[in-house]
Structure 1
Amino acid sequence: MADTVREIERKYEAPDDGRLPDVTGVAGVAEVVDKGVATLDATYYDTVDQRLAADSITLRRRTGGSDAGWHLKLPAGPDARDEIRTPLSETLPAELAALVRSRVRDQALVPLVRLVSERNVRHLVDADGALLAELSADHVTARRLTPEPGDPVEWTEVEAELAPGGDPAFLDALESHLTEAGLRRSAAPSKLARALAETGVASKADKADKAGKAGKEGEKAAELTAGDVVLDYIRAQIAAVVSLDPAVRLDVPDSVHRMRVATRRLRSCFRSYRKVLDRAVTDPIGDELKWLAGELGIDRDREVLTARIEERLAELADELRTGPVSERLSTWSQTSRRGSRERLIGVLDGERHLALLATLDALSATPPLRPAAARPAGDVILTAVLRDYERLAALVTTALAAPPGHDRDITMHDARKKAKRARYAAEAARPALGKPAKAFAGLMTDLQDLLGDHQDSCVARDALRELAEQAHAAGERDFTFGVMYGREEALAARREAELPALWAEVSREEHRAALRP
């Protein structure tokens, strides 16, 4: 069974003698407790081309200390990583193998580096004896294992790790004290990164960073092309799809939504910028992204729908709640979620998903550029954004002219999708069109939100009708579901009434004129 721990720590260059500075003067520290010396022996695993290291991920098998076992560390913000731990075993646990699958794909994980640390540990505690942080001096011996064994390298570093649930501001106060004592922040983000650098195994990330810097310095005066703008956006979305895979597996809040949005942004970009990328290549990829978004949506849509119905239920006075409404809703939601979660993990484990990731890698490496990709970005990008706007305008005009009812609902839903596409096109256009593209994307977001709320109301009414039928069949009172249905119907009518004024603002010519370079 895996445990996840949020690790917030900072590393410092230390004197060779490895002595820890006196920190009794740090605000809040009442006592420094000597916890002795531990020997930690860790073997780090990666693919031969270091796919994990390229994304600042570490996977190790460690003995010694209080947390011996397999550890997978995923980036979680500045100074923070999520460490997923499993018990010590001879082989990599399946739980951790699944979490690195989107990066590793069909490549083998091999022992890359061995690190042996002699760790001198101090606990910094407050007046109540509660742990504030752990301060340690690590004398590290690192030896490269792949592609062939190398000579060992040694260094000493100080590590300050915040206690679980602690205030990160404490690390700021501690750092001030440490730097006054002559320590300085380590240039390497992790022991593994330093070991790779000092044993001569340059990581893929380091090589890419150096190449990128050299390229940018040589092209400072070069004008952005349409291909530059579109490919930067596409590569960012591909990276999001890959990096969110473990978060979805771990059921991190909002991870399914963010991964689904990345797939939609990719599909939308392929369509909006078809003058830049060859649709003969991107259309089949778009079909696969649509499939993945649909699988992600099974889980995500139910989460959103349940939250909306719960919100409507919370708005009702007690006298309008009859029967076991909350229990009925909970059963309906959880039954569906269990099935959808199992299905989604199966999708992420499937060969079709891996094949899609490989295809996206190939697209990024050898993009199917059309002649317009080589042109200056401004005109090409602007034309694509305005073309998406015109399609949106035609649908909104049709919706405004339609009488209330099913046809208007469908047209507003189609307009919502076009507003989203225009928004994504404007997001991608920001490097070429600047702040006006950001403002235009904001207008599209406002319109999308209104149209989305209207569509969500339509979907919620279908769900409430289903819940009422289930309650009736079980002999329960269905009055409350009918009340919520009526309120959703009234909300949809309000959104329809608000659309003309919002569209009048969104469609002002000056917004589009601002986009022109």
Structure 2
Amino acid sequence: MADTKREIERKYESDESGLPDLTGVAGVATVVDKGVAELDAVYYDTYDERLAASSITLRRRTGGSDAGWHLKFPVSTGVRDEIHAPLSDTVPRTLTGLVRSLVRDGELLPVMRLRSARDVRDLLDADGALLAEVSVDAVRAERIGGKGGTAQWTEIEVELADDGDPGFLDKVDKKLRKAGVRASESPSKLARALAETSPKKRRKQRTTAAAPLDTAGDHVLAYIRTQRDAIIELDPAVRRDLPDSVHSMRVATRRLRSTFRSYGSVLDRAVTDPIGEELKWLAGELGVDRDQEVLTERLTAALDELPRALLAGPVRRRLRTWSHARHGGSRRRLIAVLDGRRYLELLGTLDALATDPPLRAAAADDPEKVIAKAVRKDFKKLSDLAEQAIGLPSGADRDLAMHDARKKAKRTRYAAETAAPVLGKPASELVKSMKSLQSLLGDHQDSVMTRGALRDLAIQAHSAGESAFTYGLLYGREERRAELAEAALPEAWETIKGAMAV
């Protein structure tokens, strides 16, 4: 079983003077000496250090109060999510799955050993509550496998107490800097160890300037690589069921698929269409979970708006049971998909596409001309669908037409996102317009889906001898929301057309 905690810390360089006096830090009443702990950590990665390249660390550590396996994911500067698993001889399966999008068919190997003598101080407030843990770590690093050398250094680490105020770290930082202590240049011990034990004479990591985007192909590929990276980076978050992770990964798959279609003059669709079908499959698998989330949130909010007198029967309990049953099944299915061969092969195909793209002749042309033409083409298709939806009477046909227009609005938006670095403000304005149209059409589609869910819930309630009154009431409200969206569409569309004509 693995546990997760949010780690908020700052690292500093240290010299022979050790730790400055911290009794003067605002809010600190007592500094408690906790003694020295001997820590021994072995870090695991692939032979080409894929985890380290993504600022992810995986280690097996003994000594101290939290011996075990630790997997850390970056959240922001100085903030990481640490997932802890008990000690074992091999990497726990609960952790290997979380890095599978990077490791894939590779092998996790011990690459670095860090032994640290950690001299710990606890900073306590007037009530004796822990504010932060401050340590002076004397570190000895040794590459494993004969691929490099050794290094040693001393650093100061300040880790915020669980649920502590991050602003407290600013107070400690001010005290340390006043004492002449400077912030560490390395984000983690492993990053420093890898740099200082490199076979190539302890070279510092170099930052290379991004390649210029000169052609239409350059711009389209930059957008594609960004979405490919998003899928890989979101994989652990989806497995951990973090908020919005499923939706964000689904959006990345849609952006890729839309880009293949919109920029067929740049990338050969004979190659990208099969990849697009696999992305459609993945989006569908992700959608099982995401659609459930949307429906549950919408129905819960609708119930919250009703007076208690209109809640007939165990409505909330039935909604929870319905949601948990469907969510649990979809979660298990989704994890099986992410662990499956088909998904891994799709990631490999996307890597190959980004490395050796099937460029067509237009890829070498002026980006403004090629990309503007693609955006105009998508907008024309959207225009036809929007006009068709507006001209239809309310009912199933209009529902379907509005749904098709919504999908085309997304595609136009994604094409405009690719175009923004080239076309500037006009493309950015089009992105905003498409977001607004998506919101309107999306609310209508959500109403269609919610009414379907309400029918199912009403049938279940009736079969159990419960009142179906509340479900019928909510169904009527959803019908009204759909009517309002349909009524707003003509004016919204005329506004968008007018802006495009300017």
Common fold: TM-score over 0.5:
yes
For these two proteins, the number of residue pairs brought into alignment is 501
Residue 440 of structure 1 deviates from its aligned partner by 1.2
* Structure-2 separation of matches of 1:128 and 1:423: 55
Asked if 2 retains the 8 angstrom alpha-carbon contact of 1:224 and 1:432, the reply is: no
Unmatched runs of 5 consecutive residues or more in structure 1: none
SS in 1 for 2:76: coil
1:341-490 pair list within 5 angstroms: 341-490=331-480
Residue 482 of structure 1 deviates from its aligned partner by 0.6
Q: Paired residue for 1:182, among 174, 180, 183? A: 180
Deviations 1:398-429 (CA, angstroms, capped at 9, x unpaired): 11111111111110000000011111111121
* Structure-2 separation of matches of 1:266 and 1:289: 8
Q: Paired residue for 2:237, among 241, 244, 247? A: 247
SS in 2 for 1:507: helix
Relative to structure 1, the CA distance from residue 86 to residue 65 in structure 2 (aligned partners, 3 Å threshold; closer, same or farther) is same
* Structure-2 separation of matches of 1:53 and 1:150: 16
Residue equivalent to 1:139: 138
* Structure-2 separation of matches of 1:321 and 1:170: 46
Residue equivalent to 2:267: 277
1:225 aligns with 2:224: no
SS in 2 for 1:100: helix
Residue 367 of structure 1 deviates from its aligned partner by 1.2
Asked if 2 retains the 8 angstrom alpha-carbon contact of 1:18 and 1:137, the reply is: no
Asked if 1 retains the 8 angstrom alpha-carbon contact of 2:224 and 2:256, the reply is: yes
Asked if 2 retains the 8 angstrom alpha-carbon contact of 1:143 and 1:149, the reply is: no
* Structure-2 separation of matches of 1:200 and 1:264: 40
Question: Which stretch has the larger CA shift, 150-159 or 6-15?
Answer: 150-159
* Structure-2 separation of matches of 1:430 and 1:105: 34
Residue equivalent to 1:49: 48
Deviations 1:208-240 (CA, angstroms, capped at 9, x unpaired): x64x32x64xx5xxx621111111111111111
Question: Which stretch has the larger CA shift, 430-439 or 472-481?
Answer: 430-439
SS in 2 for 1:40: strand
* Structure-2 separation of matches of 1:269 and 1:418: 12
Query: Which amino acid in the other structure matches residue 395 of structure 1?
Result: L
Residue 18 of structure 1 deviates from its aligned partner by 5.7
Residue equivalent to 1:152: 150
Residue equivalent to 1:12: 12
Residue equivalent to 1:511: 500
Question: Which stretch has the larger CA shift, 117-126 or 368-377?
Answer: 368-377
Query: Which amino acid in the other structure matches residue 320 of structure 1?
Result: L
1:167-206 pair list within 5 angstroms: 167-200=165-198
Residue equivalent to 2:2: 2
* Structure-2 separation of matches of 1:83 and 1:333: 29
Residue 506 of structure 1 deviates from its aligned partner by 1.0
Relative to structure 1, the CA distance from residue 122 to residue 115 in structure 2 (aligned partners, 3 Å threshold; closer, same or farther) is same
Deviations 1:439-479 (CA, angstroms, capped at 9, x unpaired): 21011000000000001101111111111111111111111
Residue 319 of structure 1 deviates from its aligned partner by 2.3
Residue 512 of structure 1 deviates from its aligned partner by 5.6
1:304 aligns with 2:294: yes
Residue equivalent to 2:486: 496
Residue 323 of structure 1 deviates from its aligned partner by 1.3
Matched-pair identity in %: 61
* Structure-2 separation of matches of 1:277 and 1:174: 53
Deviations 1:298-328 (CA, angstroms, capped at 9, x unpaired): 1110110111111112222222221111111
Unmatched runs of 5 consecutive residues or more in structure 2: none
Alignment RMSD: 1.6
TM-score where L is the length of structure 1: 0.94
Moved over 3 A (4+): 510-513
* Structure-2 separation of matches of 1:49 and 1:455: 46
* Structure-1 separation of matches of 2:14 and 2:446: 57
SS in 2 for 1:185: coil
Residue equivalent to 1:109: 108
